Structure 1
Amino acid sequence: MQRLIYQHYHQNLAMPREQLEVLKALDVAKTQLYHFTAIVIAGMGFFTDAYDLFSISVVTKLLGRIYYPPQHNKPGVLPAGVSSAITGVALVGTLFGQLFFGWLGDKLGRKKVYGITLLLMIICSIASGLSLGHSARGVMATLCFFRFWLGFGIGGDYPLSATIMSEYANKKTRGSFIAAVFAMQGFGILTGGIVALIVSAAFEKDGDPILTTPARADYVWRIILMFGAIPAAMTYYWRMKMPETARYTALIAKNAKQAAEDMAKVLHVEFDPEEAKLEKITQEPSQQYTLFSREFLHRHGLHLLGTATCWFLLDISFYSQNLFQKNIFSAIHWLKPSSSYTAIREVHQIARAQTLIALCGTVPGYWFTVFFIDRIGRFTIQLMGFTFMTVFMFALGIPFTYWLNHKAGFLILYALTFFFANFGPNATTFIVPAEIFPARLRSTCHGISAAAGKAGAIVGAFGFLYASEARHQNSNPPPDSGYHTGIGVPDTLIVLGFVSLLGIGFTFLVPEPLGKSLEELSGENEDDISEDSPPGKQSSFHHTIPV
């Protein structure tokens, strides 16, 4: 079979030097118990992240029914601005948290700030459910306040969890381990739907009026939101017991003795601290340049542009799909109009639909990535994911009126877009930034890339969702047109198809980390760096694509 080879040349490097023994041991270590312990500890943070971010979409219609009066024989709804704020404010907090804690993780250490993020998530999950006020506006404002800080804590979990897992893992299965941490997000989304199903079923009573919302419905959304504190609280102790990563302790804190002692406890092998070697390594030019330097721009500028842009484009699509789900389900008449359900029953129906999509498309996609990423590589998975997302979005959006009478086919293709988002760029955009940047900038660069992603999510929440709610509240198009949910479900799907198409192009800026150590990828194991190095000392990343 012919193959098209895409070569992305980057920095000029000198000959590689010998690595610290403790880091070399981590790179070649067999899979051990501490790997799985780290996956669970870091992964439970992501379980909570996903639960908290996506559970809000299950209860937004209930909030409208409780706090806003019925109009024209229809249940109350949240104003468009309020709905977008409640949905999007956590994403804004997440963006700032990713930037702040990403930077702090490189300055103070991964472990020192790891517990702070979890405490924020626990406290603000509970506080969100306890949101009070003398009026609807007061309750919504309080809820938005606490969800902002909840998002701030969630944001810190992205760069810290990814960096910790990448620095603990061996180079042979590093991708699978980081993907397994991220895959817990799928279980968080699934659990959000299941909890909503259980809580709504527990509070539902036969004979409830459709337009009048019972007082007990106020407990439903509060319990659903507060449940997110439980998994985070369960792992706080173990998160605090984790030792700092050897790469931070040695390469950034420059404490070779402590790094050797910490990893001796983890790997059950004694290490020579190699203090003289570490002192020589940390004086190399490859250990000196900063984020805002010409050398960083020369060596990693295109990489950072690629990781940030791909994540931005992916999250426009991924979060729009998740937050827009209830509108899409209504558009194809899988969910009936709100006026057909009681308040609590509507929560149950929305949760059932989202749980089914998560079970059939979202969760399997994550675990396909875990299984295949160290076999076929990050680049191939990301390219494939963006490609299939583009195809399925166009296939759903362009002939949309056809799908109104073929709901099963629509739902299968729709689930496949989630499958290939997760067996694709939703996983790889999280993994690659934790591998390709220098240790002293790794958490910061991951935070920048993740924040770009959340900027895309905000575009989805405040853009698509706001336009959807505003048009829905201010117009009355024909019920079977497919356009009665805002800017139009067909329009949205087609736009998201073009967004995914752009992602294919920017994927070519991202290198393939498969089989390389973190120091090889970042250039930290090189004796010298210079833009004037002779051509013979140049290195390159190769992307090989079957055609």
Structure 2
Amino acid sequence: MSGNNQLGVLKALDVAKTQLYHFTAIIIAGMGFFTDAYDLFSIALVTKLLGRIYYHKAGAEKPGTLPPEVAAAVNGVALCGTLMGQLFFGWLGDKLGRKKVYGITLIMMVVCSVASGLSFGNNSKGVMTTLCFFRFWLGVGIGGDYPLSATIMSEYANKKTRGGFIAAVFAMQGFGILAGGIVALVLSSIFDYQFPSPIYSVDPYASTVPQADYLWRIILMIGALPAAMTYYWRMKMPETARYTALVSRNIKLAAQDMSKVLQVDLKADEEISENKVTDPKLNYGLFSKEFLKRHGLPLLGTTSTWFLLDIAFYSQNLFEKDIFSAIGWIPKAATMNAIHEVYKIARAQTLISLFSTIPGYWFTVLFIDIMGRFAIQIMGFFFMTVFMFALALPYDHWIKPDNRIGFVIIFSLTFFFANFGPNVTTFVVPAEIFPARLRSTCHGISAAAGKAGAIVGAFGFLYAAQSKDKNKTDAGYPPGIGVKNSLIMLGVINFVGMLMTFLVPESKGKSLEELSGENVNDETASSKASLSRRN
């Protein structure tokens, strides 16, 4: 769609200068993702502590650990809820409007974060069951935040800096992961000072003090705070002009809403006839022949790349503690007490976040509107593939004590290029290339495909990484065979993700209406509505 045919209110938004409210919107929407990341990844900090508290056997040579099926459930149940939330709230955001359902997701995150820390039961099975129940509904709230936040930010932003704004919302995840690590570091230090206990090998019975049961609960409940603090501001945000104008068909209200928060020249008296808004050529449904003709391949591209990316990304995040243990970066559990083990795991996650994950996110924010989405995504998948194979093929070399630092550096680079790459771009593009009345739904579908990949990573690679070479283990070597095979598989997955990226259109510098083919002022635009491809 040409700029001359675009509604004045939407054209004004596309060319509006960057203003204070754009940054306010980034904080309001981004704080949801801060909470998302904190809640999803903080569980990895406390799973070993849960094993020590609830699954320790008296007289055992090693501290208790969660059984594989319980560990998979605790790690993966929130991802299942997230998938459901992305589909349901994505659809609801197109039916009722972005704002009307935006607060519901935040309330769910606050309530379920607190409830997760209050998980109750008379035995280990009861506590794990209630924990999984609350984390499932926590995931539903987290899932709803994906399509709503992405869509809101894309519809507020101007076309020149839109990619950076959407990426900045998602980049708040990095700070959420970092905050989880810092909170665990601080609390474990306090608990270790207040309730000192010997290492496990010295006194198995005293290495896990009763107060340790409060530690994991407090870590999980703190995730409610950032979401609660932004609820009021989220409720004050007006509905986006694009939803009001293109879906609700109220141009004057769209102009009035935007004039309240942005200093732009809006034509409030602009009118549009209903017969053009409801032009059957532009009113196709989801998965109709016309939709598949216009958007089928791009939707396949956004869903497949997000699915493949999340298999690798969540496998790395949820089980990085196992990889660091395997190479000896985190000492053996028997050489620590329970609280100190939490400290060691949190320290590893914090260092990775600070020097790898967060820089990767913000490199994308800075360069996405310069390099474009396609180039960044291809580059990210390429280097993730290279580094995965660089770790996997000479794995026996890396597990030697003198080479562990090199392993950690290369492993960190995979995080950097995941975030300066497809982990951000797969979030950005679905919020740009689909029509306004289907935008939230299609983003939810793409995101849900990603969470399906995360579930594959959480459940499947848990077992793959736990396979062991008995001879090496008995000889005193770490259990490396499972980790090596997992890294090889992740390298292959990243390579396939790179290939599927060629189905995804470039959206840099184009208006949302140009990308989606929407044109409410010109009935002839339906013949020009195929997606713009890369320049």
Aligned pair 1:519/2:513, yes or no? yes
Match of 1:47 in 2: 34
Superposed, which structure 2 residues align to 1:437-516 within 5 Å? 437-469=434-466, 471=467, 477-478=472-473, 484=479, 488-516=482-510
* Matched position secondary structure for 1:484: coil
Deviations 1:193-230 (A, max 9, x none): 00000111110143435223110000110010001000
Match of 1:206 in 2: 196
Deviations 1:381-414 (A, max 9, x none): 0000000000000000000111123111111111
CA–CA separation in structure 2 for the residues paired with 1:259 and 1:541? 26
Counterpart of 1:73 (choices 42, 61, 68) is 61
**Most deviating of 289-298 and 260-269:** 260-269
Match of 2:291 in 1: 296
8 Å CA contact 2:2, 2:514 repeated in 1: no
Aligned pair 1:388/2:383, yes or no? yes
Matched residue type, 1:132 = F
Superposition deviation, residue 171 in structure 1: 0.1
Match of 1:435 in 2: 432
**Distance of aligned partners of 1:435 and 1:246 in 2 relative to their CA distance in 1, 3 Å threshold:** same
CA–CA separation in structure 2 for the residues paired with 1:339 and 1:328? 17
CA–CA separation in structure 2 for the residues paired with 1:540 and 1:140? 47
Match of 1:4 in 2: none
**Distance of aligned partners of 1:125 and 1:397 in 2 relative to their CA distance in 1, 3 Å threshold:** same
Superposed, which structure 2 residues align to 1:79-478 within 5 Å? 79-204=67-192, 205-210=195-200, 211-212=204-205, 213-269=208-264, 271-274=266-269, 276-277=271-272, 279=274, 281-405=276-400, 406-469=403-466, 471=467, 477-478=472-473
For structure 2, the residue ranges without an aligned partner over 5 or more in a row are: none
CA RMSD of aligned residues (A): 2.0
Deviations 1:219-267 (A, max 9, x none): 1100100010000001000000000000111111112221111011122
Superposition deviation, residue 503 in structure 1: 0.5
* Matched position secondary structure for 2:239: coil
8 Å CA contact 2:199, 2:335 repeated in 1: no
Deviations 1:497-543 (A, max 9, x none): 00000001100000000000000000002745799x6xxx6866444
CA–CA separation in structure 1 for the residues paired with 2:41 and 2:428? 21
8 Å CA contact 1:208, 1:214 repeated in 2: no
What TM-score comes out, normalization by structure 2 length? 0.94
Superposition deviation, residue 21 in structure 1: 1.1
CA–CA separation in structure 1 for the residues paired with 2:218 and 2:471? 34
8 Å CA contact 1:285, 1:529 repeated in 2: no
**Distance of aligned partners of 1:443 and 1:529 in 2 relative to their CA distance in 1, 3 Å threshold:** farther
CA–CA separation in structure 2 for the residues paired with 1:303 and 1:356? 36
Higher relative contact order (CA 8 A, sep 6+): 1
**Distance of aligned partners of 1:316 and 1:481 in 2 relative to their CA distance in 1, 3 Å threshold:** farther
8 Å CA contact 1:17, 1:525 repeated in 2: no
Deviations 1:97-121 (A, max 9, x none): 0000000000000000000000000
Deviations 1:318-372 (A, max 9, x none): 0000011011101111112111110000000000011111111100000000000
CA–CA separation in structure 1 for the residues paired with 2:97 and 2:491? 40
User: How many residues end up aligned between the 2 structures?
Assistant: 524
8 Å CA contact 1:128, 1:225 repeated in 2: yes
* Matched position secondary structure for 1:273: coil
Matched residue type, 1:493 = L
Match of 1:6 in 2: none
Superposition deviation, residue 140 in structure 1: 0.2
**Distance of aligned partners of 1:401 and 1:113 in 2 relative to their CA distance in 1, 3 Å threshold:** same
Match of 1:27 in 2: 14
* Matched position secondary structure for 1:276: coil
**Distance of aligned partners of 1:540 and 1:239 in 2 relative to their CA distance in 1, 3 Å threshold:** closer
Superposition deviation, residue 467 in structure 1: 3.8
Match of 2:47 in 1: 60
What TM-score comes out, normalization by structure 1 length? 0.92
* Matched position secondary structure for 1:101: helix
Superposition deviation, residue 476 in structure 1: 7.1
CA–CA separation in structure 2 for the residues paired with 1:290 and 1:56? 39
Matched residue type, 2:106 = L
* Matched position secondary structure for 1:488: helix
CA–CA separation in structure 1 for the residues paired with 2:269 and 2:287? 31
**Most deviating of 403-412 and 215-224:** 403-412
